[in-house]
Amino acid sequence: MIKTMAKTKFQLARGFQDFYPQELAERRWLFEKMREVSRRFGYQEYEGPCVEPLSLYVAKSSEELVRQQTFILSGRGGEKLALRPELTPTLARMIAQKQINLPKPIRWFSIGPRWRYEKPQKGRTREFYQWDIDLLGIETPEADAELITIAAEFFKSVGLTPKEVVIKVNNRRLMEEKLNFIEIPPQLTPQIFRAIDKKEKMTERKWEKWLEEIGLNKLQTRDLRKILADKDFAGESEELTNLFSTLSDMGVANYVEFDPAVIRGLDYYTGTVFEAQDRAGKFRAILGGGRYDNLVETIGGSRISGVGFAAGDKVVEEVLRKFNKWPTINPLPTKVLVTVFNESLYRESLKIARQLREAKIPTELYLTVDKLDKQLKYANRQKIPYVVILGPEEEEKRIVTVKNLKTGGQKTYPQEALTKEIKKIIKSQMDNEE
């Protein structure tokens, strides 16, 4: 693709992306998978604005997200606005605004663009799409399990197996107890969580220095390391025990495991947290989420607990490509090309095209008078399955010739029966493909 890109006067903004029809068709395939699994569990789709007052994100999201990664724009009245870097604050605001009138529990999902000012690299763009899905109003491990099951069912639906991906689960309340046990004062917890979240992205030495700066002594640092490496203490949490038992009943136990090193970066999580990774750990997190008890209240609503996750399109695509599970989809809707034999038959061809379209059959009419060869070549290049030919002989007999470009075969039909016949052909072809 890069090779054929012409040097033109105007270029894409850095970190942004075009979706040519082929690319958009594939992206929409992914979105439909997300949509289908969301709806299968009874979730309703919503959408917020792409722009929010900057203040909505300050202190709600992570500091890093707001200070370094948010695209800021000024309204002409001087108001500070932001291109949404994530959707959860919008969700909380929307729920706070209509809280009394919404039946509980609230099961909502959304798929749309988000923006983060990050260094563009493979699998990371400044504009990307994200699937957000949340369940609010039920504060039990069964609710957490529903969300994790949805994540696993999504993986199944795109063909990713438990050998390829894993959902790592932890619980912040359990981790608070653990930190308490090694005598780390509770006020340090948010900083420690942030350090745990970033551990994999820095050297051991640098990480230890950070903990020292936070106020941990050598012994506590050693103990913290031990906690993070121990995969066996989930049983100490009743919440986690119930969660894993429900996940087993849901039939997705093979997709999940306990991992105390998974803590997630957003400040508003309070209980269960989880993130999905490829087993080899080559890519960034495929999706991440958790339980947030206080978010809606912070935004100005009444207290309502929620649990949810978000999955970015770019990493999912990378992982699917790695396992050869990213599809190739022909973006052209056209089923029939109606050719034009000569100028005097243009009107007749137009009528045939009109007739097919009235039956909702995607039809192109060849709009210029070219040799039939050239018209067939166009259909071949575009992979249009059927071509209708209407020459003087056909017109005299009130018939048309239908050519199947895949098989090369052709057949004639009375003009008035064409629509019915084409419908039959397309239907039988679709049945064969199933």
What's phi and psi for 201, nearest 5 deg? -95, 5
Q: Which of 49, 190, 235, 392 binds its own copies (CB under 8 A)?
A: 49
Q: Residue 82's closest CA among 56, 60, 110, 59?
A: 56
Q: Residue 367's closest CA among 390, 343, 333?
A: 343
Of 191 and 334, nearer to its own copies (C-beta) is 334
Q: Which stretch binds its own copies (CB under 8 A): 33-41, 167-175, 199-207, 397-405?
A: 33-41
Q: Which of 20, 122, 201, 232 binds its own copies (CB under 8 A)?
A: 20
* Minimum CB–partner distance for residue 77 and its own copies (Å): 8
Name which of residues 389 to 428 contact its own copies (CB under 8 A).
none
Angle at 30 between CA 27 and CA 34, to 5 degrees: 140
* Minimum CB–partner distance for residue 72 and its own copies (Å): 7
Residue 9 binds its own copies, judged by CB under 8 A: yes
* Minimum CB–partner distance for residue 165 and its own copies (Å): 20
Contact 109, 131 (CB under 8 A): yes
Residues touching its own copies, count (CB under 8 A): 99
- What string marks each residue from 126 to 145 as x (binds its own copies by CB under 8 A) or -? xx----------x-x-xx--
Name which of residues 331 to 360 contact its own copies (CB under 8 A).
331-334, 346-347, 350-351, 354, 357, 360
Residue 162 binds its own copies, judged by CB under 8 A: no
Total length of the chain: 434
Contact 158, 259 (CB under 8 A): no
Residue 73 binds its own copies, judged by CB under 8 A: yes
Of 23 and 176, nearer to its own copies (C-beta) is 23
What's phi and psi for 344, nearest 5 deg? -75, -20
Residue 188 binds its own copies, judged by CB under 8 A: no
Give me the helix-helix angle, 172-181 and 218-229, nearest 10°.
140
Contact 102, 95 (CB under 8 A): yes
What's phi and psi for 48, nearest 5 deg? -105, 180
* Minimum CB–partner distance for residue 129 and its own copies (Å): 10
